[in-house]
Copies of this chain bind each other. A is one copy, B any other.
């Protein structure tokens, strides 16, 4: 950040009065520009005993498999966001979203909130963002081709919980060292 989005003046990193950490402060109008973590919302779409994965058609990790997820937008709830991303990335309508895993990914300032969700029908399709979309049995999951560690952890936890039939809500962390 170099310039003030309000007045176009130069910003400097400094600790504002009454604050305890550096912020981008405009040297012209005095506006303080905060930067905060972003929320990513996504789904584990289920159809009977299979789950839906998308092969990424965009960077990063183009060609790798992932669960549908993306940035929460202004104007929507977390559940609406997770449903929208599942529609945009996988062409699938999901219902009965149950909050399942929250991941802190501190080194990129992101918070992931993943839901379990039921596909309303077994319909899905490729999209601009996904070159391939498919339902997988547990034994078919392409573990060595999962795009992101957060998705690998989500899938591993899901199948572990499924084996005992309980899906408690949990908070976990993804750290850089293991990415």
Contact pick for A106, options B7, B76, B113, CB 8 Å? B76
Cβ of A72: which chain B residues have Cβ within 8 Å of it? 36-37, 111
The answer to whether A117 has its CB under 8 Å from any CB of chain B is no
The answer to whether A90 has its CB under 8 Å from any CB of chain B is no
Q: A3-B8, A7-B3 are in contact. Are A79 and B171 (CB under 8 A)?
A: yes
Min CB distance A113 to B, Å, is 8
| Chain B residue at minimum C-beta to C-beta distance from A115 | B171
Min CB distance A83 to B, Å, is 13
Q: Which residues of A are interface residues toward B (Cβ below 8 A)? A: 1-8, 11, 18, 21, 24, 33-39, 71-79, 99, 102, 104, 106, 109, 111, 113, 128, 169, 171, 173
| Given A1-B6, A74-B109, 10 additional A-B pairs, CB 8 A | A1-B5, A5-B24, A34-B71, A36-B38, A36-B72, A39-B111, A77-B106, A77-B171, A78-B111, A99-B171
